[in-house]
Structure 1
Amino acid sequence: MAPALEIHPDPDQPFFNATAKYDNAATHFVVPAPLESTLAERLRRTAVEVFETLGCSGLARVDFFVPADGEPVVNEINTFPGFTPTSQFPRMWAAAGLSYTDVVQNLLETAVRKG
């Protein structure tokens, strides 16, 4: 499992839109996110639970909101997250030590095994 990624969107954008996401140097992605270990583990466990409960396979990214009180809220599960070199999913895996090529290879091998 890849480490959590934290998004610091461009404060001049009204929300985290495509411009803030892909075309804006003012948006910053921090991976691994600077989380306390108990919160990081809770997010990891919850992401796996969401993935398994929904019967997902292959790849997915589970997004959370973590408000100031620290009580995480599942925002969405993205069953086919962005996969460009600037997308969050490959950034997260890069932080885990896997290259873009490694991630694609792993996905292909997993799909073949599940045939």
Structure 2
Amino acid sequence: MHADPRQPFFNATAKYDSSRTRFSVPALLEDRLAERLRRTALDVFEVLGCAGLARVDFFVPADGEPVVNEINTFPGFTPASQFPRMFAAAGMSYAEVVDTLIRTAVARG
């Protein structure tokens, strides 16, 4: 993600209203780094005892050593949000994601 350079922070304007903010979904990463981030995200999700959906955000500094920034246990889920775009890049439609979340919740009881 490259935020709008005119915005001092990654604020609502940069996130939703700026044509200068660029999201690359999937992220443009080397396969090895992408796999490391995927594994780490799953580990964070499991260690924290999460269920359902969450998004684990990272910083990847120039030295390449990833740092977990946060886990968002209720990421934006509107069609304009990034979370559904991530699932779409993985081959799941918005309806399929919602259906999966509902089925998983029902199965958990």
**How many correspondences in the alignment?**
109
Alignment of 1:1-115 (within 5 A): 7-115=1-109
Q: Secondary structure at the match of 1:85?
A: coil
Secondary structure at the counterpart of residue 29 of structure 1: coil
TM-score normalised to structure 1 length: 0.93
Structure 2: which amino acid aligns with 1:89?
F
List alignment gaps of at least 5 residues for structure 1.
1-6
Give deviations 1:53-102, integer Å, cap 9, x for gaps. 00000000000000111110000000000001111100100101111111
* Identity across the alignment (%): 76
Code of the aligned partner of 2:78: T
Higher relative contact order, chain-length normalized (CA < 8 Å, sep 6+): 1
Distance of 1:51 and 1:58 partners within structure 2: 10
Instruction: Give SS of 1:97's match.
Output: coil
Q: Residues of 1 paired with 2:82 and 2:59: CA distance?
A: 16
Alpha-carbon RMSD: 0.6
Q: Following TM superposition, where does structure 1 have runs of at least 4 consecutive aligned residues deviating by more than 3 angstroms?
A: none
Q: Aligned equivalents of 1:63 and 1:88: distance in 2?
A: 12
